[in-house]
Amino acid sequence: GKVNMGIITNGFTELQRVRLEKTGLKDVFSALIISEQVGVAKPDIGIFEHALAHMGEPQREQVLMVGDNPHSDILGGMNAGLDTCWLNPSSSALPEGIKPNYQVTSLTQLQALLLPA
């Protein structure tokens, strides 16, 4: 309830909707952007532009792209001019040329980053 969240996902519409239903997270996100519907996939900047437009064009400095895939999520967010946070639970090495603004190993760490005391 303290941050506006959306999802950008590569994949097929029906499969992604079923996954969100099963997790109980369907109504948590204000935007659900699925590559099959948009016609481009992460890391293409076009899907990020579509998501920003769908969310009312928030100021980019107020947007944080969080993702678990450094190539599609983090590089895509970087190319779109967004701050990025790599959710890296296995503490993998950063691929060359990919530099997230933040890196966390758990959703608890992400929550602490987003909602500092």
> Quick one: pLDDT at residue 37?
92
Neighbours of 25 (CB within 10 A): 12
pTM confidence score: 0.89
Q: Which of 2, 10, 24, 13 lies closest to 110, judged by CA?
A: 2
Q: What is the pLDDT of residue 1?
A: 61
- Confidence class of residue 63 from pLDDT cuts 50, 70 and 90? very high
- Reply yes or no on whether the pLDDT at 69 is more than 90: yes
**What's the rounded Cα separation, in Å, for the pair 24 and 108?**
18
Residues 70-99 have pLDDT tens digits of 999 999 999 999 999 999 999 999 999 999
**pLDDT, tens digit, 9 for 90 and up, residues 12-52:** 888 888 888 888 877 888 888 999 999 999 999 999 999 99
Binning pLDDT at 50, 70 and 90, where does residue 117 land? low
Rounded Cα distance between 45 and 84, Å, is: 14
65's CB contacts (< 8 A; 6+ apart) are: 8, 48, 73, 74, 76, 77, 80, 82, 83, 84, 85
Tens digits of residue pLDDT in 26-35: 788 888 899 9
SS3 label, residue 9: strand
